[in-house]
Amino acid sequence: MINIAVAAILSIALGITIVLTTFTMFYCQSAKKVHFILLSVPVFLFVLGYLLEVTATSDNGGFTATKVMYLGSAFISPVFLLFASDYCEVRLAKPVILVPLFLIPFLVVVLVWTTDYHSLIYTSYTFEMDAPIRHLNVETGKLYYVNHAYALLCMCFAGGIIFHRLLKWDKRYRFQLLLLLLGVITPVLANVLFVLKWNVYGINYTPVSLVVFNVLFYVNIMRYDLFDILPKATAMALNSIKEAFMLIDADMRFLSANPATYIVMPGLSKLRKGSDITGLDEWPPELSKLMDNRHEEIKFSIRTESERFYSASISAVFTRKKAVAGWIILIQDVTSPTLLLRKLEEAATKDGLTDVYNRRHFTELAQIELAKAHESAKSCYVIMFDIDHFKKINDTYGHPAGDAVLKTVAARVKSCVRPHDILGRYGGEEFIVILSDANEHTALALSESIRSNIEDQPVAYDNLSISVTASFGVAASYRETLEMIQKHADQALYHAKQGGRNRVVFYQQAVGS
């Protein structure tokens, strides 16, 4: 009866192993199931071998069953170590580790199957038919304990990995890990009892303990989502990163996104899975261009209450047949570095006080405008002006007042010039403007408008009202260089000062007079 009961228990264990393996293979999506399925194979062989042993009817039949058991028992511990490491996200699946990890089990199996030619594992064996539990009596050889010691080492290492994760991972995974840890302890304890021969009726508790082992895995898979740790960990990681992560399919339909994406595009949170992503009002057209060039990065901006700048990159997700199945889009907020870069660019091109172009950058832009004018056979005009008696303003009211005058004058000039005119601070209190697409009348009228705008409104500073005027020199360029036209405008400015200041003088008229 006891023998029949053990056989029944082993048959149940085999059934549970088959059910779990089948369920995992067809219904679990996680890549972690691979090592579990591999683990199920040696477990099945181990239990099957012991079932064959308790139902054997001869010495040869009993030892053949032992050979089958070793096909499983030798590999259970190293495969479980791989499973535990994979589940706990400790990378051991490397050739430099795998080869020695499976070398000892392989050699043990070879030695057991060639026992007739040596006595390294077993020196002799007899089969007990009349015992309450049919079993093989063996005399052990010199290497018998190698397999048991190696199995214990692998299981202890696996248990250590699980225990470490038990201490480090979130408490939501604690019960799964405790069940796994119990799954390690149960067969280890059973094997120790078998090796020490503390077993009733000669029962090998190890394969029987695998019933508990399989039940624990069944509970983990069916109740506690054993193989959901990777998706959960991935989701937690995506939820915690600052970059926006978006997944869309090959037909530009929305699949998923992390919370950071909804900050970039709030309307996305209302979009249903499978909706056309390009129909989203906030969808930047620049992102669609990325589909044509998968290795390109693109920058775009979104205007809400304040303008934000983003950098996006894209990666294609391929099917096994190398067809595009979808796209992964990563979006990074680059507002801070973009604004910093703008400030640096402005610092390199703008005058810090008046916020107009500095002399170096004005010269670069003016050279370009002048070249365009010469190419199209059109004339350019340069206006140079400076603030009258500026030194007296500084001496009378102080340099802060002088700075206020410079800023006010620059602002008034910017309000007068056309959008495509180029205004720069030439130095000190002197400014310069280059006009393209203009004639003599336009240049003189604009100069007069600036002059009167400066004169008509005193500059207010610290309860003071400071009267300000400016003198202007205007010169036309037909084929001259920028240096020459600036020289002519400067000469015209000199004539304006000599003529009483607060006036506009045209170089060609001054020379003609």
CA 432 to chain centroid, in Å, comes to 49
Question: What confidence tens digit (pLDDT) does each residue in 414-444 have?
Answer: 999 998 899 999 999 999 999 988 889 999 9
Q: Tell me what pLDDT residue 490 has.
A: 94
Determine the 3-state secondary structure of 473 from DSSP: strand
Indicate the pLDDT class of residue 229, thresholds 50, 70 and 90: very low
The CATH code of the domain at 2-226 is 1.20.1070.10
Rounded to an integer, the average pLDDT of 134-152 is: 88
> What average pLDDT does the chain have?
84
Q: Tell me what pLDDT residue 293 has.
A: 58
Q: Which of 139-148, 163-172, 365-374, 446-455 has the lowest mean pLDDT?
A: 163-172
Question: What confidence tens digit (pLDDT) does each residue in 381-423 have?
Answer: 999 999 999 999 999 999 999 999 999 999 999 999 998 899 9
Question: What confidence tens digit (pLDDT) does each residue in 363-375 have?
Answer: 999 999 988 888 8
- The model's pTM: 0.49
What is the token pair recorded at 59? 């010495």
Q: Tell me what pLDDT residue 238 has.
A: 66
CA-based nearest residue to 486, from 390, 385, 354: 385
pLDDT at 74 over 50: yes
For 363, residues 6+ apart whose C-beta sits below 8 A from its C-beta are 424, 482
Point out which residues pair with 423 in neighbouring strands: 433
Rounded to an integer, the average pLDDT of 67-80 is: 92
CA distances from 156 to 78, 149, 379, 505 (A): 11, 11, 89, 96
Q: 158-171: buried (b, 16+ CB within 10 Å) or exposed (e) per residue?
A: bbebbbebbeebee
Question: What confidence tens digit (pLDDT) does each residue in 174-213 have?
Answer: 777 888 888 788 888 888 888 887 877 777 888 878 777 7
Query: Contact at 8 Å (CB) between 156 and 149?
Result: no
For 481, residues 6+ apart whose C-beta sits below 8 A from its C-beta are 370
Point out which residues pair with 211 in neighbouring strands: none
Angle, CA 83 vertex, CA 80 and CA 84 arms, to 5°: 85
Q: Tell me what pLDDT residue 505 has.
A: 95
The CATH code of the domain at 350-512 is 3.30.70.270
Question: Per-domain residue ranges for the chain?
Answer: 2-226, 241-339, 350-512
Rounded to an integer, the average pLDDT of 155-181 is: 81
What DSSP letter does each residue of 401-465 carry, written as one string? HHHHHHHHHHHHHHHHS-TT-EEEEEETTEEEEEESS--HHHHHHHHHHHHHHHHHSPEEETTEE
pLDDT above 90 covers a percentage of the chain that reads: 35
Q: Tell me what pLDDT residue 230 has.
A: 44
CA-based nearest residue to 77, from 114, 24, 38, 107: 38
Determine the 3-state secondary structure of 308 from DSSP: strand
pLDDT at 66 over 70: yes
The CATH superfamily holding the domain 241-339 is PAS domain (3.30.450.20)
CA–CA gap between residue 328 and residue 243 (Å, rounded): 12
E strand or H helix that includes residue 330 = strand 324-333
Selected residue with higher pLDDT from 153 and 303? 153
